[in-house]
Amino acid sequence: MDNKNKTTPVSTLGEFGLIEHLTKNIELKNPQTIKGIGDDAAVLEYRGKQIVVTTDLLVEGIHFNLMYVPMRHLGYKSVMVNLSDVFAMNAYPRQITVSLAISGKFSVESLEELYKGFQMACDKYNVDLIGGDTTSSMTGLLISVTAIGEVEKGKAVYRSGAKVNDLICVSGDLGGAYMGLQLLERENEVFKIDPKMQPQFQGYDYILGRQLKPEARGDVIEALKSLNIQPTAMIDISDGLSSELMHICKASKVGCHVYEEKIPLDFQTKKFAEELHINPLVAALNGGEDYELLFTVPLADHDKVKNDPDITVIGHIVDAAEGVKLISALEGKAIPLQAQGWNPLKK
């Protein structure tokens, strides 16, 4: 960390200078990228494949708090959020564009950190950064990422294909990102009162990582491919399990039964939830930002999924008339699920 305190105002470079500075080291990796940054548009060529396109907007003060989110992590996560949507189509990401609106408080160095995050994500997932737009904002930072990926014709997985009796599966574990956020918020409050206090993070590295450095589950897409499983429906878990189950059930015109005791929760998620006296299940159902994959597979695929330690069968698809329900562990009661997930536009 040389020159840690050196800050160069963005105004010294101007728009074109800044973009040139930030993007000068970008190398294209994919044969599908014919022309990247530097013209009116990027040029791509996908021979015989279908293309998926997705976009997400991250706004300072709404989606992230720069008091405790490092710029590099923010850049990485901004890309992950979009790659996760590409994987949720059973597709492989190949390109992203990144647009930024930045206020005067950001230095060239802080934007370099942000771009390092973009590039780390692109390098790890073999994605090309092919363009974007950079402009100023009245307040704070806004990041708009669009991701483009490819999928073989007939292999895209929609939300709408779930059938009665299909198994409902989820990758990884849930609720960790939400609990990580609670931890960061708590320590930030302590810091605001006494800046000399050291934050208490020990024992919670996993949930912190879930919040600050999520990974899009391309490995799960690979695993399904090698298990020769074509999911009938799929979605990524960005707004909490409840909300995503309802999306699949609505689009597929079905209902579901999900079993409380099957929902995968990490030890740290449970431990910190206990510390805060909240039910970790609430974090899993309504917390969001886990970026795991929720998918349905035909019952006949049970043997294929049951031995994958990273995939948990949490329930099954039922008739639409039966509703979207959580079966409680203790009494076996069926509780209707509601999408109480993260919703920035609802009071």
**Segment interacting with a second copy (CB under 8 A) among 12-20, 179-187, 195-203, 263-271:** 12-20
Q: Which of 22, 71, 89, 207 binds a second copy (CB under 8 A)?
A: 89
**Segment interacting with a second copy (CB under 8 A) among 37-45, 68-76, 181-189, 253-261:** 37-45
Nearest to 237 by CA among 171, 302, 179: 171
Q: Does 338 bind a second copy (CB under 8 A)?
A: no
Site for a second copy in 262-321 (CB under 8 A): none
Query: Would you say 68 or 204 has its CB closer to a second copy?
Result: 68
Q: How far is the CB of 292 from a second copy (least distance, A)?
A: 13
Q: Does 14 bind a second copy (CB under 8 A)?
A: yes
Q: Which of 21, 28, 29, 50 binds a second copy (CB under 8 A)?
A: 50
Q: What is the DSSP string of 161-213?
A: G--TTPEEEEES-SSHHHHHHHHHHHHHHHHHH-TTSPP--TT-HHHHHHHHS
Show the tokens assigned to 225. Answer: 């491919």
**Segment interacting with a second copy (CB under 8 A) among 124-132, 164-172, 298-306, 329-337:** 124-132
Tell me, what DSSP letter sits at residue 328?
A: P
Site for a second copy in 228-257 (CB under 8 A): 234-236, 251
Query: Would you say 14 or 203 has its CB closer to a second copy?
Result: 14
SS3 for 33? strand
Query: Would you say 89 or 179 has its CB closer to a second copy?
Result: 89
The long-range contacts involving 102-105, CB below 8 angstroms and separated by at least 24 positions, are: 102/10, 102/134, 102/135, 102/136, 102/137, 102/141, 102/142, 103/136, 103/137, 103/138, 103/139, 103/140, 103/141, 104/9, 104/10, 104/11, 104/136, 105/140
User: Cα(4)–Cα(2) distance, rounded to whole angstroms?
Assistant: 5
User: Cα(260)–Cα(330) distance, rounded to whole angstroms?
Assistant: 9
User: Cα(313)–Cα(184) distance, rounded to whole angstroms?
Assistant: 31
Site for a second copy in 134-163 (CB under 8 A): 134-140, 142, 144, 146-149, 151, 153, 156, 158-160
**Segment interacting with a second copy (CB under 8 A) among 40-48, 187-195, 218-226, 256-264:** 40-48
Query: Would you say 235 or 273 has its CB closer to a second copy?
Result: 235
Query: Would you say 99 or 328 has its CB closer to a second copy?
Result: 99
Site for a second copy in 53-72 (CB under 8 A): 53-57, 59-63
Q: Which of 78, 95, 119, 211 binds a second copy (CB under 8 A)?
A: 95
Q: Does 39 bind a second copy (CB under 8 A)?
A: yes
User: Cα(289)–Cα(212) distance, rounded to whole angstroms?
Assistant: 10
Q: Does 34 bind a second copy (CB under 8 A)?
A: yes
Q: Does 43 bind a second copy (CB under 8 A)?
A: yes
Segment holding 136, helix H or strand E:
strand 128-136
Beta bridge partners of 325: 257, 336
Q: Does 94 bind a second copy (CB under 8 A)?
A: no
Q: How far is the CB of 9 from a second copy (least distance, A)?
A: 8
Q: Does 107 bind a second copy (CB under 8 A)?
A: no
Query: Would you say 21 or 124 has its CB closer to a second copy?
Result: 21
Show the tokens assigned to 24. Answer: 């000068």
User: Cα(196)–Cα(156) distance, rounded to whole angstroms?
Assistant: 52
Query: Would you say 50 or 230 has its CB closer to a second copy?
Result: 50
User: Cα(112)–Cα(104) distance, rounded to whole angstroms?
Assistant: 15
